[in-house]
Amino acid sequence: MTMLAVEGLTVGYGGSPVIDGLALDVPQGSVVALLGANGAGKTTLLRTLSGLVTPRSGRVLLDGADLAGVRVEDRVRRGLAQVPEGRSVVSELTVEENLQLGALWRHRSRGERRAALDEMYELFEPLARRRTSIGHQLSGGERQMLALARALVARPRVLLLDEPSLGLAPRVVAQLLAVLRQTADRTGLTVLLAEQNVTSALSIADRGVVLGLGAVVADAPAADIAADPALRHAYLGF
């Protein structure tokens, strides 16, 4: 059953649209890799899904419900979380505080929150060691780990990730994506993973969706996309 559906989406910052008539279905529990060159519209799509950008036309449906007019924070409270591009960790706060921030709306009582945070610390061991460190003291890998943990601590239904591998060493990327995949398998989380690192993304994904010029140009099982040289040359740059 479809967890996240996009119909006829057009998004433009003025001038020619960045996303033009895009349609997409993300089944529940699947990990979908969103691929495409720079400027193909991946970030814009994710920001539109989260509500940071208002589309010119089209619909976004979360578990069948139209998200039109639903504010960013309310979409999160309906289960649509995002790990945005770049260093999204709040560098003025500690690791613990960052996690608490993510857990607040979901886990009202202190006890619940403690349990949820401990769960994350178990999953992401390096974070447990750096509990009281301030955001800007963390390494790139630790920050991305924190950003991911922070999004997961509220037990979202859908998780959008925008280029989590950016600027990270391959080993760290592999660890991160492995945890992501395990969590998705364990909890039935639906994942939409936007990546320029095609191989890594396809390695944990069930399906791949390729964006080109603001629309979907390929939507197929991950293995098929990895094996298609024409696609790779045309849209993925190798």
Nearer to other proteins, 15 or 69 (CB): 15
Least spacing, CB of residue 72 vs other proteins, in Å: 4
The answer to whether residue 73 forms part of the interface with other proteins (CB under 8 A) is: yes
Cα first-last separation, the chain: 34
Q: Closer CB to other proteins, residue 53 or residue 128?
A: 53
Rule CB under 8 A: choose which of 65, 68, 104, 115 binds other proteins: 104
Residues 220, 207 contacting (CB under 8 angstroms): yes
Specify whether the CB–CB gap between 85 and 43 falls below 8 A: yes
Q: Map tokens 């990327």 to a residue.
A: 173
C-alpha Rg value of the chain to the nearest Å: 17
What is the side-by-side order of every strand in the sheet holding 215-221?
A: 80-83, 158-162, 190-194, 31-35, 207-212, 215-221
Using the Cα atoms of residue 236, residue 23, residue 87 and residue 104 in order, give the sign of their dihedral: negative
Closer residue to other proteins, CB minimum distance, 6 or 11 = 11
Distance CA 45, CA 6 (A): 10
CB 131 within 8 A of CB 156: no
Q: Are 183 and 122 in contact (CB under 8 A)?
A: no
The minimum distance between CB 101 and other proteins, in angstroms, equals 5
DSSP, res 106: T
Rama region for 149: left / alpha / beta (φ>0; ψ in -120 to 50; rest): alpha
Question: By C-beta, is 97 or 206 nearer to other proteins?
Answer: 97
Q: Nearer to other proteins by C-beta: 104 or 223?
A: 104
The residue within the footprint of other proteins, chosen from 30, 48, 82, 144 (CB under 8 A), is: 82
Q: Does 55 bind other proteins (CB under 8 A)?
A: no
Among residues 15, 64, 111, 229, the one that binds other proteins under rule CB under 8 A: 15
The footprint of other proteins on residues 18-47 (CB under 8 A) is 18, 20, 39
Q: Does 101 bind other proteins (CB under 8 A)?
A: yes
Q: Pick from 53, 213, 216, 217: which binds other proteins (CB under 8 A)? A: 213
Question: Is 90 a binder of other proteins (CB under 8 A)?
Answer: yes
Contacts with other proteins, residue ranges (CB under 8 A): 12-18, 20, 39, 50, 52, 71-73, 76-77, 81-82, 84, 88, 90, 92-93, 97, 100-102, 104-106, 136, 150-151, 154, 213-214
